[in-house]
Amino acid sequence: MANVLYINSSVRTSGSLSRQLSAEFIAKWKAAHPADTIVERDLASRPVPHLSEEMMGAFFTPAEQRNAEQAQTVKLSDALVDEVEAADIIVIGAPMYNFSVPSTLKAYIDHIARAGRTFKYGPNGAEGLLKDKKVYVFTASGGVYSEGPAAGFDFLATYLRAVLGFLGITDISFIRAEGVAMGEQAVADTLAKTRRSIEELIAA
């Protein structure tokens, strides 16, 4: 039995392809693994706050030395870290906004990238502390970034691969609905391709 953490970040509650495709994956996953638990986190409807000076101060104060206000301040971040630590599988719906992830997803990552909890520095440099997790990222973008002239502008997949890798998560599959601003046929083609990928990933 596995714990699945399912994160969405598209601001669209209807018509969102990253939501639709990740939901199709989750539905098929549930059917194939009925005993697994699914924990949902919607960063669009329930965004986490941006980091603040107070939060940074609380993060970098050892737990036993925090005052009551700092202990309260760190609670959300601690809960988010607990949640991601408990997950065996993480499914992320991530639309491309201005060549990268939505700012809500970036704000979430700022809460879970915590020195001493999800990474640490030692004599050999940084070590990610989130081990043995599998991540599926469902992206949607108006243009095409997996190949071609815009490939160098993909700061979504490159960023997620870098930051998740920094935290110790290296087993990441990207399932891309791309070119969705390039006409109906392009949408139909990328959806068909994406759904084939979902079937393959579920069967794997």
Q: Can you say how many angstroms the Cα of residue 150 is from the centroid of all Cα atoms in its chain?
A: 22
Task: Fill in the per-residue mask, 143 to 172: x = in contact with ligand FMN (CB under 6 A), - = not in contact.
Answer: x-----------------------------
Give the number of other CB atoms < 10 A from CB of residue 181: 11
Stretch that binds ligand FMN, among 55-63, 95-103, 129-137, 162-170 (CB under 6 A): 95-103
Contact between 96 and ligand FMN by CB under 6 A: the answer reads yes
Pairwise CA distance, residues 58 & 67, whole Å = 9
**C-alpha distances out from residue 134 to 32, 85, 94, 201, Å:** 16, 12, 16, 12
Contact between 12 and ligand FMN by CB under 6 A: the answer reads yes
Residues 6+ apart with CB under 8 A from 112: 77, 80, 81, 84, 118, 167
Least Cβ distance, residue 21 to ligand FMN (angstroms): 8
Pairwise CA distance, residues 36 & 47, whole Å = 26
Contact between 140 and ligand FMN by CB under 6 A: the answer reads yes
Contact between 105 and ligand FMN by CB under 6 A: the answer reads no
Contact between 142 and ligand FMN by CB under 6 A: the answer reads yes
Least Cβ distance, residue 196 to ligand FMN (angstroms): 19
Q: Which two tokens stand for residue 15?
A: 């018509």
Contact between 77 and ligand FMN by CB under 6 A: the answer reads no
Q: Hey, which residues between 36 and 75 contact ligand FMN (CB under 6 A)? A: none
Binding site for ligand FMN (CB under 6 A): 10, 12, 16-19, 95-99, 140-143, 180
